[in-house]
Amino acid sequence: MRGDGSISVAAAPATSHAPRVMSVVAAADEEPEVCSLFLEAPSWRAPARDEMVSRLESDEFDVLVIGGGAVGAGVAMDAATRGLKVALVEKNDFASGTSSRSTKLIHGGLRYLAQAFQKQLPPRSLLDVVRNLRFEPEYLRIVAADLSERSSMLESAPFMATPLPMMVPLYRWWEVPLFTVVGLMYDLIAGKRRAVPPSRVISADEALFAFPALRERSSGGDDSPLIGALVVHDGQQNDARMCMHVVLTAIEAGATCANYASVEGLLREGGDDGTSGDGKLCGARVRDTRAGRSIDVRAKQVINACGVFSDAVRDMAQPGVRPIMVPSYGTHLVLPEYPSARGTGLVWFTNDGRVLYLLPWEGSTMAGTTDAPGPISFEPQATAEEVDFILGECNRLVRKPLSPEDVTSAWAGIRPLVADPNAPPGDTKALSREHVVETLPSGLVTVAGGKWTTYRKMAQDAVDAAVAANQQLSHASPCRTEGLQLVGCDREGAVCGDDYDRITTTLRDDYQIDRDVARHLRYMARTLWASPNWHRQSRTASCTTALAEAASGGCIPAARHSPPRLRLPAGMSLRRRRWTCSPTARASRSWTRRRRARRCHWCCRS
């Protein structure tokens, strides 16, 4: 950092053989001093996109995966780590579909937990709770499976997915014991490996401290005062970047992945009509939309992971096949930071039983989401009604009413729900969030439904189904993705995200670089050290590419599993920070609570 407060990020000139070096040039006020953070030479680098496309054309693959969202990337990673030769093709950018338009949560689903015990949500009185009591173990099973995947995800990429505290505000006395039990159950179901701090009920004072914009009195007509809040933790991720990391991990395991490669048709043994063969699929005709030409990609097995677009590919495999996808629109708004300025989110039930979130997100607040039927589209748009609905629901809980002028941006995504034959038509809320794996007679395996949190399990089930259905894949080893760490992962440190974050800590503590700038540099570096040239034109990656390109003069060094090691100037050491899991506890007026927070073993294992 220079005397005037500016920071210079410079790049050492690169030769064709020498590793590139990114230097952070820092100057103290009185005595200018130059400190450089040298990154390790790349140990692995993904091939350029052109090379990927020519491999698609020349090689024959064991598995061709269609769709480069969370699920497709997960399938490619799963199959490649089992020793299969894999190709992955994505029509647009990786994660350009639903996988970059989610609420960014890695969660087990509080709504499912509530639905396991309540016929109707939300309960309005204790009598309602008693009247609607039921027990649906199926929902508990889903929550347990999803919470197990939550732990898996948090552990596989702790630099990208971190625990996020969220409050459920409590305005009625009977909600306190009820939600205490809910929090306890959520933790109990997650088990020992829950990977996030435990749930707890906090006082009204603490709740207002953690979320200053919260109403002190209920807006429900009864004007009841805020009694406290249940704080639960789930994971939060940058979904688009996480998908990139999954793709990169697949590539590192040997997969050939290309974006801007759209499947136009499927290839069959014995030609298009399958008359001279057994009609089994043996690949796909793929259009390289960058080069404007089509190529045939040959594969022993085709897996369809196209999310809401899955029916189109199923129809290519078996014209006239009954559609299974039921699109459900969800909108999110980006609002100013002030409601969630302390890093705590808010979650509550809407009047019609949905769950709405107000979450801190990259210096702003994200509000969402809705759940409405709509057409399948590559560019879903947020409608004015959905924006009004979200703002109206937020205003039930936020002290200063939010208006459309506060909305800085919005996005919509389409949930790839799978039709439930027992659900009433048009009722998307009643649809199962569980995934399905279907094998058509032509051999096409389709994996759809589920959610981001369960992408790994979905991928595992899809590859298992493919291996079971296709003799030619018998050389595949069992699934290896449970516990697999993604490219860019730092194996050291504790669970809480920033404990891993040596780069930000060093930049802040030792170079006095502003927190936001340090975090920004860290994010850029983490993704881009492992990023290849081939997706440079990709929209998803463009912002991450920018800094690294500027810093490295066009060449981006890569690092695998071992994090980029910082070579510090003599005399400088890397200080470990002590973190507590509860900022509210640290700032609490209660001395005991502050003391307890300091000794918290969850995050302060060092």
Ligand X SMILES: Cc1cc2nc3c(=O)[nH]c(=O)nc-3n(C[C@H](O)[C@H](O)[C@H](O)COP(=O)(O)OP(=O)(O)OC[C@H]3O[C@@H](n4cnc5c(N)ncnc54)[C@H](O)[C@@H]3O)c2cc1C
Can you tell me the distance from the alpha carbon of 35 to that of 568, in angstroms, rounded to the nearest whole number?
8
Q: Which stretch binds ligand X (CB under 6 A): 22-30, 91-99, 225-233, 506-514?
A: 91-99
Can you tell me the distance from the alpha carbon of 482 to that of 497, in angstroms, rounded to the nearest whole number?
19
Can you tell me the distance from the alpha carbon of 166 to that of 199, in angstroms, rounded to the nearest whole number?
9
545-553: long-range contacts, CB 8 A cutoff, minimum separation 24? 547/9, 547/520, 547/521, 548/22, 548/524, 550/9, 550/11, 551/9, 551/10, 551/11, 551/22, 551/524, 552/11, 552/14, 552/20, 552/21, 552/22, 553/11, 553/13, 553/14, 553/20
Minimum gap (Å) between residue 413 Cβ and ligand X: 3
Going residue by residue from 8 to 47, which x/- string records binding to ligand X, judged by CB under 6 A?
Answer: ----------------------------------------
Minimum gap (Å) between residue 102 Cβ and ligand X: 3
Torsion of CA 282, 288, 294, 295, to 10 degrees: -40
Going residue by residue from 62 to 81, which x/- string records binding to ligand X, judged by CB under 6 A?
Answer: ----xxxxxxx---------
Binds ligand X by CB under 6 A, chosen from 76, 77, 84, 105: 105
Can you tell me the distance from the alpha carbon of 359 to that of 334, in angstroms, rounded to the nearest whole number?
10
Binds ligand X by CB under 6 A, chosen from 62, 90, 499, 549: 90
Number of residues forming the site for ligand X (CB under 6 A): 38
Minimum gap (Å) between residue 345 Cβ and ligand X: 11
Is there binding between residue 369 and ligand X (CB under 6 A)? yes
The residues in 531-570 that bind ligand X, with binding defined as CB under 6 A, are: none
Residue holding tokens 């649906």? 136
Is 233 or 522 the residue whose CB approaches ligand X more closely? 233
Q: How many helices (H) and strands (E) does the chain have?
A: 16, 20
Can you tell me the distance from the alpha carbon of 403 to that of 169, in angstroms, rounded to the nearest whole number?
22
The residues in 400-429 that bind ligand X, with binding defined as CB under 6 A, are: 413-416
Q: Which stretch binds ligand X (CB under 6 A): 304-312, 336-344, 424-432, 527-535?
A: 304-312
Is there binding between residue 89 and ligand X (CB under 6 A)? yes
Side chain identity at 439, as an amino acid letter?
Answer: T
Minimum gap (Å) between residue 485 Cβ and ligand X: 20
Is there binding between residue 326 and ligand X (CB under 6 A)? no
Is there binding between residue 309 and ligand X (CB under 6 A)? yes
Q: Which stretch binds ligand X (CB under 6 A): 104-112, 273-281, 465-473, 551-559?
A: 104-112
Is there binding between residue 102 and ligand X (CB under 6 A)? yes
Binds ligand X by CB under 6 A, chosen from 98, 152, 199, 301: 98
Minimum gap (Å) between residue 79 Cβ and ligand X: 15
Is there binding between residue 196 and ligand X (CB under 6 A)? no
Handedness of CA 508, 512, 514, 520 (dihedral sign): negative
Binds ligand X by CB under 6 A, chosen from 450, 488, 497, 532: 450
Is there binding between residue 345 and ligand X (CB under 6 A)? no
Binds ligand X by CB under 6 A, chosen from 300, 451, 502, 522: 451
Q: Is the peptide bond before 122 cis (omega within 30 degrees of 0)?
A: yes
Question: Any idea what the Cα angle at residue 131 is, between residues 127 and 135, rounded to 5°?
Answer: 130
How far is C-alpha 300 from the chain's CA centre?
A: 30
Query: Could you tell me which residues are beta bridge partners of residue 303?
Result: 65, 445
How far is C-alpha 153 from the chain's CA centre?
A: 9
Going by C-alpha positions, the residue among 341, 342, 346, 343 that lies closest to residue 358 is 346
The residues in 262-301 that bind ligand X, with binding defined as CB under 6 A, are: 262-263
**For binding to ligand X (CB under 6 A), which residues are involved?**
66-72, 89-92, 96-99, 101-105, 107, 262-263, 305-309, 330, 369, 413-416, 450-453
